[in-house]
Structure 1
Amino acid sequence: MSRDPALQPFGVGRATAHGRFWTELWISVRNPEFWALSSWLDIITRARRSRLGFVWLLAPSVVYVFGLGSFFAAMRGESIQAFAIHVALGAMIFRTLMSAIVASANVYPGNAAFILDGHVRLTDYLLQSLARAFFDMCMYLPVVVVAFAIAPDFHWLGIVLAPLAVVLVYLNALWAAVVLSLVGARFADVGQVLANLSIFVFLLTPIIWTANEAPADSIRGQLMRLNPFYHFVEIFRAPILGQPVEPHSLVYVGVMTVVGFLVAGLLYRRYTRFVPLWI
């Protein structure tokens, strides 16, 4: 009698689904023991290595929102109470998406021992990188709550719609993780390139500045609108702040989601067999 591949996390049992992205992804989602637990243990280990523990995990959000936020609010002649929510929402989405993308480029080499030992359902490692990004997003929530508390105005309807935007963010993080994990397995320097590019992309995304400072007919505005992170930040943040979402952003995200998954599925089916050789 054949056994359910979902009950065989290692070895030959999963070969029946190998290379089929959606099949392997569904099996991984149904069996979160490996990717969810390993991600959580990684967070716990990082926290236990320092005296302040989880305080250090909160530090980036505090620095971004109330450090950079206060500085740039003063430059703009605004109060931090009004500007903090703008920075907090933008930084949370940017950090979540960028964290998933950078981590995915190194996820296969970082788990080479498991893969070479027979754990070849590669979607487990992709979900592992997304789970870590989710924990990073959770570390922003306390600061976001404080920003809401001091904000002079925000729209509850936007908060109700926010989970839909987060789902879109994670769907795109998933297909991007598929593509970049394969490229990162083949070319070891991809992770370093992405980590260094993240600084430029952060400055190109309206987080510590606003989109109306970059008119569409300017070079800066054109670069901003070519930046995918801008569109994901806007579809999440704009409704909460009571601002209209540009139709261009909705089309951009929709097309990117569909095309991204088509490309990811083709690449996964074609190249996953080479991952053990590349790493």
Structure 2
Amino acid sequence: MTRHLVRDYLESFRHPEFWIYATWLDLVTKYRRSRLGMFWAFFPPVLYTFGVGSFFAHLQGIPAGKFVAHLGLGYMIFRFVTVSLSEATTTYAGHANFILDGRVRLTDYVLRVVAKALFYFMLAIPVMAVALAMSPDFRVVGLLALLPALALVFINVAWMGAVVSVIGARLQDVYELVGSALMFSFLFTPILWTAANAPPDTLRGGIARLNPLFHLVEIVRAPLLGEPIESWTYKYLVVFTLIGWLMAIHVYRRYARFVPLWV
């Protein structure tokens, strides 16, 4: 039977019981035997934002309070996208029993990994609130653009997750390929450095701006820190989102029906 990506996503949101419960169960079983429990979910953003952020601020001669918010926000967005995509590549194989039993609304499994990444993102919000409070660049008005910007990030994660999950069901090496590509993209995403360090009219700035994570991070972070968003970022994300969804709809319609055979 031919599957339609948008219709399946809408059905998954209308009936979220499976993927929400499965995500909750994953998290409970992961931390229930740990003495420190949910502390381990808070630890990475705290360590990265204030530990790594202070270290790199010192290396660059920037006040720590000014740089930790920049690094922390970039890390949050980057982690959400990369965790969602890397786990999406193996989500169908991990749920093979459900798929073979006839639960073939495949978007449920994509949303399961995205919901898990979103949970960690939300846990980091108090850490980011402290980092923003420390930053002299924080602009309260930037909060007005936060939800639309995060929605745009989610929309792009949704189509990218759908594509890599279908391809990953057919080719197991996709997990390693996506992981390596995301690791490499970290170097071209303004997290440890700022967009001003790589102007768009330079070779390194042009290469960095070919990276979609560059723009997904900037669209969320820049308004919060009172930084201008380049017009190129708006154009890039409009084209990237539209072409991406058209490609994802085609891939899902053409190949999703083969997933039960591949897993």
Q: TM-score range by the shorter chain?
A: over 0.9
Counterpart Cα distance in 1 of 2:114 and 2:96:
18
Report how far residue 39 of structure 1 moved: 0.9
1:16-71 alpha-carbon deviations (Å, 9 max, x no partner): xx512222221111101001110121112212232211111112111211121111
- 3-state DSSP class of the match of 1:23? helix
Report how far residue 153 of structure 1 moved: 3.0
Partner of 1:148: 132
Counterpart Cα distance in 1 of 2:242 and 2:35:
45
Q: How many residues align?
A: 263
Partner of 2:16: 32
- 3-state DSSP class of the match of 1:49? coil
Say yes or no: does 1:87 pair with 2:87.
Answer: no
Report how far residue 196 of structure 1 moved: 2.8
Pairwise CA RMSD of aligned residues? 1.3
Counterpart Cα distance in 2 of 1:200 and 1:34:
34
The one of 179, 196, 217 aligned to 1:195: 179
1:185-218 alpha-carbon deviations (Å, 9 max, x no partner): 0110111222233322112211111111113233
Counterpart Cα distance in 2 of 1:28 and 1:217:
43
Say yes or no: does 1:271 pair with 2:255.
Answer: yes
Equivalent positions of 1:170-181 (< 5 A) are: 170-181=154-165
Amino acid in structure 2 at the alignment position of 1:85: A
The one of 73, 85, 91 aligned to 1:107: 91
Larger radius of gyration: 1
Partner of 1:231: 215
Equivalent positions of 1:1-279 (< 5 A) are: 19-279=3-263
Counterpart Cα distance in 2 of 1:227 and 1:199:
12
Amino acid in structure 2 at the alignment position of 1:173: V
Amino acid in structure 1 at the alignment position of 2:62: E
Percent of aligned pairs with the same amino acid: 46
1:93-143 alpha-carbon deviations (Å, 9 max, x no partner): 111111111111111011111111111111111111211121121121121
Amino acid in structure 1 at the alignment position of 2:204: R
- 3-state DSSP class of the match of 2:209? helix
Amino acid in structure 1 at the alignment position of 2:251: L
Partner of 1:7: none
Higher relative contact order structure (alpha carbons within 8 Å, sequence separation ≥ 6): 2
- Unmatched runs of 5 consecutive residues or more in structure 1: 1-14
- 3-state DSSP class of the match of 2:97? helix
- Unmatched runs of 5 consecutive residues or more in structure 2: none
